[in-house]
Amino acid sequence: MREPDKIREEILKLSREYYQSKFGNQNEFIPEESVVNYAGRVFDESEMVNLIDSSLDFWLTAGRYAEEFEYTFAEMFDAEEALLVNSGSSANLVAISSLTSPLLGDRKLNPGDEVITVAAGFPTTVAPIIQNGLIPVFVDISLPDYNINIEELEKAISDKTKAIFIAHTLGNPWDVDAILKIAKKHNLWLVEDNCDALGSRYNGRLTGTFGDIATFSFYPAHHITMGEGGCVVVHDETLARAAKSFRDWGRDCYCGPGENNTCGLRFTKKYGYLPVGYDHKYVYSHVGYNLKLTDMQAAIGLAQLKKLNGFVEKRKENFKYLYDHLKEFENYFILPEATKNADPAWFSFIITLKEDGSFSKNQIIEYLEGKKIETRNLFAGNITRQPGFMNSNFRKAGTLKNTDLVMNNTFFLGVYPGLDKMKLDFVISTIKEFISKHSNASTKEI
C-alpha cells in the first residue's frame, strides 16, 4: 500500500474511535434538565468517516461524493437529473428560476405571471416567486392535513396563472391526484416543495416524483442532513439544463468542477453578441447564481441517505405514539391527519388548539419550553402578515381563515429519530399535566 493510503486508513480508523469516544454513549435523559429537541442530526461513525475521507481528497467543491449522491438520488426519484445545492431554500430558488428560462419557449414564466402557493409555510417557498418578479397567489389551507384547499385552488386560477408551487406540509403529501388533474387541465407547471417530506408516499409512490420539479432540504432538522444542503430533482430534460445553469453561475456549459471541453465545442460556436469561438466555459445563458455545495457536505449526505428508510420508519413510529397518547385530548386539540392515500414520513407532530379552548397557544408552548420541550410554529404562520412580505406584490385568493388560525393556534412537536419512548413519554405526561392545570381555567391569558 502507498504511504498516503496507509496514513489515510489510519486516520479513518482513528476517526471511528473518536466517534465512539466522543458521541458513542448517549447522555442519560433527565426530565426537565435534558432538552427534548424538536429535531436534530442523528449520525454515527459512517458520517464522520465519509466527511474526513472527503476532506482528505481535498477536492473541496462538488466531487466524487456529490456525484454518487446525485446519481443515487436521481435513480431513487426516477428523475432526469438530481442537482445538489447548498440548501433547500436554494433548491426552491433554482426551481422557480428554472421556470423563467428562455429554453422553455412560450411556457416560460414572465414577470407578472402568477404562481399558486399557500401562506402557511416556510418563507423560502414564497421568496423565490417574488424574487423572480412573479406574483404569489395565496390559497387557504385545510385542516387537519394542513395542505392547500383543493376547491379554493381551482377557484384561484386566473389567465395569468402559470405554476403551482406548494410544500407537502410537514411531510404530509397534498392530494396529488386532484392537483395533478388541475395542473394538467390548466397547463401549469407543478413544483413540489418536498423539503419536509423526504420518504413520504402517495399511492405508494414517493413524493417528489409527481411534479415537474421537486426540491429537498438537508438542513439538520430534516429527514437526512448534510449540515447545510439541498437538492433539485428535475423530471424534464430542458428544465434540467436550465436548473443546472441557474445553479452554476448561469453558464451555458455543463462541465463539472475541474472539467473542460466535455462537449468538444468549447471554442467553435457563436453565442449572443459574443465573437465566434468565445470560450463556452464563460458563456452565460441565464442570470444565475452559484449555489453548489462542497463534497464534504455530500459525503455526510451519502452516509445519511443509506439510513433514510430507518429514519422514516422511526418518524412514523414516533408520530403514531404521540397521536395514540394525545387522542384523548381532542376536545382541546385538532390532531394531524394524513391525506387520503398518503403515507407521510412526518416531519413533526402538528397541533392546533381548538378556537374555543380554555388556554392559549402561548400558554402551552411556554409551559412545554419551560420543561425543556422544544416547540415550533408552522414556520411563517400567515406569511402575508410578516414584515418582510406584507408589502410585496401578491394576491389573496379567498379568505385565509385557516391560515390565520394556524398562525394563532398552531405549534408542533418533534418526531425525529433522536426521540425515544422515554422522551416522548415525558412530552405526553407534560401535556397531560398542563391540561389538568388549565382545563378549568375561566380566562385566556395572551
Partner 1 sequence: MPPQRKFSAKVLAIESFGEKVKRFTLLPEQAIPRFKNGQFLHLAMDEYDPSSNWPDSRAFSIASSKDDNTIEIIVSKKGRFTQRMFQDIKPGQKVWIRMPFGVFNLDKIENSAVLIAGGTGISPFISFLKSQYNIDLHLFYGVLNEELLIINDLVKDLNKSSNNIVHLYFEQSPVNNFPNMQIGRIDLIKAVENANENHSSIYISGPPALISATIDIAKKRGIPDSNLYFDEWQ
Q: How far apart are CA 220 and CA 239, in angstroms?
A: 28
Using the minimum distance from each CB to partner 1, give the nearer residue, 68 or 317. 68
Which of 168, 186, 222, 223 is the catalytic position? 222
What does the block give as the cell for 406? 394556524
What does the block give as the cell for 320? 403514531
Q: Name the percent of the chain in helix, strand, coil, to the closest 5.
A: 40, 15, 45
Using the minimum distance from each CB to partner 1, give the nearer residue, 197 or 240. 240
Burial 23-48 (b: 16+ CB within 10 A, else e): eeeeeeeebeeeebbbbbbbbebbbb
Contacting residues toward partner 1, per CB under 8 A: 56-59, 63-64, 67-68, 70-71, 74-75, 80-82, 237, 240-241, 254, 256, 258-259, 262-265, 268
Using the minimum distance from each CB to partner 1, give the nearer residue, 220 or 229. 229
CB of 254 to partner 1, least distance (A): 8
Using the minimum distance from each CB to partner 1, give the nearer residue, 102 or 387. 102
Using the minimum distance from each CB to partner 1, give the nearer residue, 57 or 366. 57
DSSP string, 388-436: TTTTS--EEES--HHHHHHHHHEEEEE--TT--HHHHHHHHHHHHHHHH
Which is nearest to 162 in space by CA: 140, 186, 185? 186
CB of 29 to partner 1, least distance (A): 41
Is residue 235 flagged as an active site residue?
no
List Cβ neighbours of 244 (8 Å cut-off, separation of 6 or more).
81, 83, 254
List Cβ neighbours of 202 (8 Å cut-off, separation of 6 or more).
173, 176, 210, 339, 341, 342, 343
Using the minimum distance from each CB to partner 1, give the nearer residue, 76 or 274. 76
CB of 71 to partner 1, least distance (A): 5
Which is nearest to 141 in space by CA: 409, 337, 405, 389? 405
Q: In 233-339, which ranges are continuous DSSP H helix?
A: 237-247, 295-305, 308-326
CB of 248 to partner 1, least distance (A): 14
Find where cell 471511528 sits. 16
CB of 258 to partner 1, least distance (A): 5
CB of 222 to partner 1, least distance (A): 21
What does the block give as the cell for 371? 420543561
Active-site residue numbers? 222
